[in-house]
Homo-oligomer: A and B are copies of this chain.
Amino acid sequence: MAVFSEPAHCATCGSNLSNQFVVDEDRERLVCDGCGRIHYMNPSIVAGTIPVADGRVWLLRRAIEPRKGAWTFPAGYMEMGESVEEAAIRETREEIGLEVKIESLLNVYSRPTMSTVHLIYTAEALTAPVLGREALEFASFSAREIPWDGLAFWTTQMALRDWIASLKRIVETKGAVETSGGTPLGSADYSSRRSSRSSMHPSPIAKPSSRTTCCSSLSSSSVALTSRRPSSLA
């Protein structure tokens, strides 16, 4: 089920739009019956952070629907004129009053039927959170304490699993380098400093009917461009 609604009127002149075959693009597009403007529709980007301090992630309980009362990390729609990182930092500030420093892209999550793409970053929490109108509550969780049964979205679970997997890789790398033993990094990362009500193994939560695809990434640092919509590529 697609949840986006198609525009009915032209953004430029207000006339009716209709689906017309556009020869140059070899497909149907929404075209204005008045001025002929082609209306492109594109997925929206959701940017967010997994804000971590001392190996613990700050999560918030949503104060608004959907999934009011459920736990998630700060994320929201990107605005015009900002970079993805700037959007992720802004959303973290808006939702939980937390200043963060972006560390790296955790992963990209496509939700084709929602027409959203989620770019989630790991981040270092630089301040303490402040309760605002978007959160009922906030709390920090170690990897062992994540409230899997109370997470807001299936995708929240996926990103937190990826975060835990990234911690494990750090531990393994650290372990491979520091063969001398000592206190493993994991003892900090996975410590249970508060009484835990969850296990390390996520339990299944409401899985949306939408396909969600994801990908891993490789490298560091920079754009390519493309055809179509010349006005936005000049």
Contact = CB atoms under 8 A, between A and B. Distances in A.
A179 interface: no
Contacts of A153: 223-225
A9 interface: yes
Interface in A88-103: 91, 95, 102
A122 B218 contact: yes
This chain's copy number in the assembly: 2
A35 to B, nearest CB: 11
Which residue among A46, A85, A91, A227 has the maximum number of chain B CB atoms within 10 Å of its CB?
Answer: A227
Nearest to A82: B112
Contacts of A224: 46, 48, 72-73, 75, 109, 118, 120, 153, 155-156, 159
A65 interface: yes
Interface in A1-44: 2-5, 7-16, 40-44
Nearest to A153: B225
A113 to B, nearest CB: 7
Given A107-B217, A159-B223, 4 more contacts: A5-B231, A82-B112, A214-B221, A217-B217
17 contacts: A8-B13, A43-B78, A43-B80, A48-B226, A72-B224, A84-B117, A86-B110, A108-B217, A120-B224, A134-B227, A152-B225, A155-B223, A159-B223, A212-B222, A212-B223, A216-B221, A217-B217
